Structure 1
């Protein structure tokens, strides 16, 4: 069974479109902005302000048009889905987060970027990132922006105190997989009591899942989230909790930052953006005490965004010139400086704006580690229903960590809830 666009939008927007009386009705004005400007919606911190400022004066390559940017602080996706459902006052260009696949059932609301010449640029971008913007029906609705390659962050000083390997290459060699990483974590905890290697059970699960070549569904719509590749990641997360190597600092609480601030979290497998959100934000006085090395279990990716051109766009060719200019290798390197977005263009990785030593990480060129991860990550298919599937899994993993359910019962309950939700959505 397939999901209609109207039904999917109602689900994705939490019923907001229906509540606003917009679904299924057109408007007298389909797009936003004047005839000489392209309207763009994105969220705070998703683009480089200097570059946007240039385009607001005149779009490079289309200098008769200028950009009109709207940054939406909260409820971005709901507002976008509501606008699309109503087919009225829709922006010309929109940003999409790493849940880009949730827009696939709505693909006819966007231009196929290949019709505008995107295929000629494919070689400039990471292949797996490029594929994420292409629907199973082979329509390219989303153009690559940033990525979220993963690596292992660790406290150099604590590792030194524990008497284990301390240099990035040596740590990577000592913990090439999750089993050896767990053993390393146990050794550090024995030498430095209280040390943990994850903030919570979900952190491990997400990082390990991010290394897989398949996730919850196939392109053909088959649910595979109950198969061994997911169960093994689940059991790995549970094992780390049972070994006492999780801080049990649940997402959305102040404890997440606290375990970084107080030095309890001595190693963490996460994405490049965690450097900013984690130690640089929560523990600025640890400057010089962190290092980065390849993650146990291999390369992975968590996060990254896209740009799309809606079918209501008043000048698709100008819009395409804008997004390809904004996401060129040169400008993605600029966006790495602010707001710290890791490029999807490999040519950026040798740009001197990215390769400078990072004093917070003891002068290490951490970009080299994340660049290698981005290049090695094999990619996986993300379905429109991944968020729907992920929610009960995360909730049940928390139940395991806090001790309210056994691992087997929690897994069973998660699968029951997933089946219920996917059936309700018409996905199975």
Structure 2
């Protein structure tokens, strides 16, 4: 046997022992980069991805600062983006750039659609039927209220009684007038005009646009005009503390009992507990006046720059299955978007901060009854215009009818841009 032949046989033997087939183990490993924000997903589940998918390496990056701006900048550059990216409730702003993301229906999303709340699923589907975003969590709403203040004012204070008493926003305002008459002007029914407007819209199946992206606000019977009129009425009745969310004024008002109630999403539980820890045991939650709504909740999408879309979808599908959504709720308080998750006993847990009430019962029922809605790509722009005019009504005494006309005029200019 020649020396050359011996060397050749040795090389073949070495390749066989190493399991080499012309492709190294490094080449077989699929590296998936994930962009999300702190507490946007369950870190324990992300860490478990590589055990669940041995051929996947997950490069999870928590993006701080203005997440949406970073994503838009990356999209404008045309390269360098992640495989998987989270969207917040601004998902419809991505619809004009739907071609920059994989249609998840083409990757098998139809097979799991039945597992998710229909209204939440539809938020990620473009008007022409492309599914670009898989649901993560939801933000069903309820009426947070101080049971001690309601009781002191001679009003119903049990959650079931409150739910029966305030079926409509008009009922809620009438209750507020009684409460303030009994407790004095230092206590206000609720926090601010923008909150009323937002939560009324959250209960509607249309917000600013039809699915054809036609602006609906000029119709006097539109949900937008209804929300405006109710918000303005609450201000004119003197029911508002004019304390905007995410402010020191709001935190202080919640702590010192200056605000007796507010309609908010399930994630407001954590916000409230951090803002007013000394009020533990005094709060309860009832069904929201006007019906069930949703405020917030996020999604996962796969960018077209990804070289491994099939693997990315399988990872997303696993992270967001019903069992893992319950784990995520337990670990990070993200409220589920899968239907069967809502039946878990985790939502029957009694909460000391809410006087031993299992508020999960309120929010699961709310989640089951939200109406599907379409926000449109220019939702944020229009919403900003409306809220600036609402602030002028509440804080500067501007006539609501005049402010409404200014809203419509500014919206028309915005839509021409």
Per the normalisation by structure 1, the TM-score is 0.88
Is residue 306 of structure 2 the alignment partner of residue 301 of structure 1?
A: no
Please say which of residues 191-200 and 168-177 is displaced more in the overlay.
191-200
1:248 matched residue in structure 2: 242
SS at match of 1:44: coil
Q: Any residues of structure 2 matched to 1:322-333 within 5 Å, and which?
A: 322-333=315-326
Aligned partners of 2:87 and 2:301 also within 8 Å: yes
Larger radius of gyration: 2
Report if the CA contact (8 A) 1:216-1:383 is conserved.
Answer: yes
Residue of structure 2 equivalent to 1:158: 149
Comparing 257-266 with 389-398, greater Cα deviation is found at 257-266
Change in CA separation of 1:362 and 1:369 when aligned onto 2, cut-off 3 Å: same
C-alpha displacement of 1:339: 2.1
Matched, 1:100 2:94: no
Equivalence for 1:392: 385
Does residue 197 (structure 1) correspond to residue 189 (structure 2)? The answer is yes
Deviation at 1:197, TM superposition (A): 2.5
Q: Offset at 1:59?
A: 5.7
Distance 2:395 2:39 in 1: 34
Superposed CA deviations along residues 354-398 of structure 1, whole A, max 9, x for unmatched, are 321111111111111101011111121110111111001000000
1:409 paired with 2:402, answer yes
Of residues 106, 121, 146 in structure 1, which corresponds to 2:112?
121
Unaligned runs of 5+ in 1: 1-33
1:310 is the counterpart of 2:300: no
Aligned to 1:218: 210
What does residue range 358-373 of structure 1 map to in structure 2 within 5 Å?
358-373=351-366
Contact 1:150 1:302 in 2 (8 A): yes
How many angstroms apart in 1 are the aligned matches of 2:330 and 2:239?
34
Distance 1:39 1:140, change over 3 A: same
Q: CA deviation at 1:220?
A: 0.9
- 1:88/1:35 CA distance change after superposition, 3 Å: farther
- Secondary structure class of the residue paired with 2:35: strand
1:262-282 Cα distance to aligned partner (Å, 9 max, x none): 11111111111111112x011
Higher helix share: 2
Q: Give the C-alpha shift of residue 252 in structure 1.
A: 5.0
In the TM superposition, what is the alpha-carbon distance from 1:419 to its structure 2 partner?
Answer: 1.1
> Which residue pairs with 2:269 in the alignment?
275
TM-score (norm 2): 0.90
Q: Following superposition of structure 1 onto structure 2, how do residues 6-155 of structure 1 map, counting pairs within 5 Å?
A: 36-55=30-49, 58=50, 60=52, 62-155=53-146
Q: CA deviation at 1:219?
A: 1.2
**CA deviation vs aligned residue, 1:48-80 (integer Å, no higher than 9, x gap):** 11111212xx162x3211211111111111111
Alpha-carbon shift at residue 47 of structure 1 (Å): 0.8
Matched, 1:232 2:223: no
C-alpha separation between the residues in 2 aligned to 1:226 and 1:147?
30
Q: Give the Cα separation in 2 of the matches to 1:209 and 1:126.
A: 19
Per-residue Cα deviation, 1:387-426 (whole angstroms, up to 9, x for no partner):
11100100000000012521111111111111111111xx
TM superposition shift of 1:107 = 0.5
Alignment-derived partner of residue 28 in structure 1: none
What is the correspondence of 1:352-363 to structure 2 with a 5 Å cutoff? 352-363=345-356
Tell me the alpha carbon deviations over residues 134-177 of structure 1, each in whole angstroms, 9 at most, x when there is no partner. Answer: 00110000001100001111111111111111111111111110
Partner of 1:16: none
Distance 1:225 1:255 in 2: 32
Cα distance in 2 for residues equivalent to 1:309 and 1:414: 36
Give the superposition deviation at 1:336. 1.3
CA contact (8 A) 1:337 1:354 kept: no
RMSD over aligned CA atoms reads 1.5
Change (3 A) 1:35 1:310: farther
Give 3-state SS (helix, strand or coil) of 1:379's partner. Answer: coil
Q: Secondary structure at the match of 2:315?
A: helix
Partner Cα distance (2:51, 2:193) in 1:
46
Residue 375 of structure 2 corresponds to residue 382 of structure 1: yes
**Cα distance per residue 1:208-237 (max 9 Å; x no partner):** 111111110111121112323211211111
- 1:181 corresponding residue in structure 2: 172
